[in-house]
Amino acid sequence: MTDTVGRMIPGDQLSVQLKDVQEARELLGGVIVDTPMEHSRALGRMLGATVHLKAENLQRAGSFKVRGAYVRMARLTEEEKTSGVVAASAGNHAQGVALAAKKLGVRATIYMPRGVALPKLAATRDHGAEVVLYGSNVDEALAEAQRFSDESGAVFIHPFNHTDVVAGQGTIGLEILEQQPDVDTVLMGIGGGGLLAGAAVALKQEAARQGREIKLIGVQAENAAAYPPSLAADALVPLQAVRTIADGIAVGRPGEIPFEIIKELVDDVVTVSEDAIAKALIFLMERSKLVVEPAGAVSVAALMEGKLAELGIEPASVVAVLSGGNIDPMLMLRVIQHGLSAADRFLTVKLMLKDRPGELAVISRIIADTDANVIGVDHSRIGGALSMGDVSIVINMETKGSEHSALVLNSLRAEGYEPLVMN
């Protein structure tokens, strides 16, 4: 299919089109905010390109999910609205549905697993939804939500596998084009695929109308990456297990509707490690002053890991989407500790010392001379490997990176000690 001046329009037979995304944006007027586009000089220096961060972590309810949830629910019939809606989620989708229901005056029931983070539970209830704690994971909550829908007549709101949801999520693509008109490469996280699919329609079709091309890269956590094998097989390939700190994209099976769009319009899907995600989250806090959940940081992790270079892409203007900021403080604490360790900025060593006065003072002097910061010390005189007169000591230190950590270790070895790294 071509436009009025004969340009080919990609994906013209797909279930979601540019006009659907444009209509969704009209529905969202006054409901969501156009989230800011933040320039990242630090990432730009790494890539040798201009890099901007689409701060969707500052969206209402803390993520992009409200875009799709509201569009889906606004298009329900009056009879369906009267019956109410039901959803299942451990976080972002729950808050998006709850906020949309409040705006539309629709009764919402949200099933959440019993172990859900307390801040996410409180935020969902604060929007007026009835929360039912059920099961030990999202899959069990999802099954119960579907049963409730079948029995009560409440409309089930899927987090990504519906054309209205995809169109709503795609409105982020229109904002990117308006805020950064010269963009040539966009990266964003992918779980079920609703955000990436919708953005792909908006970005690819509008770019084609402008007579240019935009590269679009999806990013998954390597321990929750259902899209690469599914795209390779040209069929939905469910994962046997999903385990990642990026719970917002911890989806074991792609959605049918997003998958059909992504396989036609998206240029590639890459994966990043847990360490890379943790380091990206810390980078965003330190350098951009942005609190982002692990799922929202995977796009930056891909940039920091050099994924564009691996694909042979040499961008001039990049946008990385930060899809959400709903992170549980306890998880944040663990991720920060993990990220500092992965970046060699948190060093833990075990030493065997003679149990005599002044020995710890010597160790402290060596570490102080290297300008490392001791934040914790634990020692024991009892253990199977300890002889009489020996003591085992574990020291936790903050360092400035891998070179500084190596300096600390070498300084200890130069004084005759044998530090065992325990990170």
Enter the tokens of residue 70.
């509201």
Residues contacting 185, CB < 8 A, separation 6+: 214, 215, 216, 217, 308, 313, 315, 317, 318, 319
Three-state SS string over 378-419 comes to: EEECCCCCCCCCEEEEEEEEECCCHHHHHHHHHHHHHCCCCC
- Whether the CB-CB separation of 98 and 329 falls below 8 Å is answered with no
Angle value at C-alpha 13, between 71 and 28, nearest 5 degrees: 15
Give Cα separations from 105 to 84, 101, 128, 380 (angstroms).
Answer: 9, 6, 10, 62
Packed helices 294-304 and 274-287: angle between N→C axes, nearest 10 degrees: 90
> What's the gap between Cα 130 and its chain centre?
26
Which CA distances in Å does 352 have to 98, 375, 386, 389, 393?
Answer: 56, 19, 8, 11, 6
- How far apart, in Å, are the Cα atoms of 347 and each of 16, 207, 412, 422? 50, 48, 13, 8
CB-based contact 217:308 (threshold 8 Å): yes
In this structure, how many other beta carbons lie within 10 angstroms of the beta carbon of residue 381? 11
In the residue annotation, 65 being an active-site residue is answered as yes
| Cβ contact 393:378 at 8 Å | yes
Among residues 65, 103, 204, 279, which one is catalytic? 65
- Catalytic annotation, pick one of 63, 299, 323, 392: 323
| Largest CA-CA distance found in the chain, in angstroms, rounded | 88
Instruction: Report the catalytic residues.
Output: 65, 323
